[in-house]
Copies of this chain bind each other. A is one copy, B any other.
Amino acid sequence: MAQPQKYVFVCLNQRPPGHPKGSCLDRGAAEVFNALRDEVGKRLLTSVKVVATGCMEGCLAGPCLLVVPDNVWYGGVTEADVPLLFDQHLAANGDGEPVEMLRLEPDDFCA
């Protein structure tokens, strides 16, 4: 079968308690990951693949997501944002537009 049209990479990295950068997992990434997977299931989408990752260096702005091949980064995503991400971007069949209010810029990264 063919490749998914869009990949959503979701950082699930966790750092020890008290680490100054914190981590995406401490900021709720697991809940966002599960909500993304659930939304794919509910919508019966074979065009979108949600993939867990290690640290992508968006720590301070986590939970941090990357949509490929669009090269759109999102930060501070919550479960409540997930339906909008699909309606406007991920499930929009090639007409998708990024959700601007959730986008990360290069300076938001914490390497």
Contact = CB atoms under 8 A, between A and B. Distances in A.
Interface of A: 1-4, 7, 9, 46, 49, 51-57, 66, 68-69, 71, 106-107, 109-111
Given A1-B109, A69-B71, 13 more contacts: A3-B57, A3-B106, A3-B109, A3-B111, A4-B57, A9-B51, A49-B111, A51-B54, A52-B53, A53-B53, A53-B54, A66-B68, A68-B71
A51 B55 contact: yes
21 contacts: A1-B109, A1-B110, A1-B111, A2-B107, A2-B109, A2-B111, A3-B57, A3-B111, A4-B57, A4-B109, A4-B111, A7-B66, A9-B53, A46-B111, A49-B56, A49-B57, A51-B53, A51-B54, A52-B54, A53-B54, A69-B71
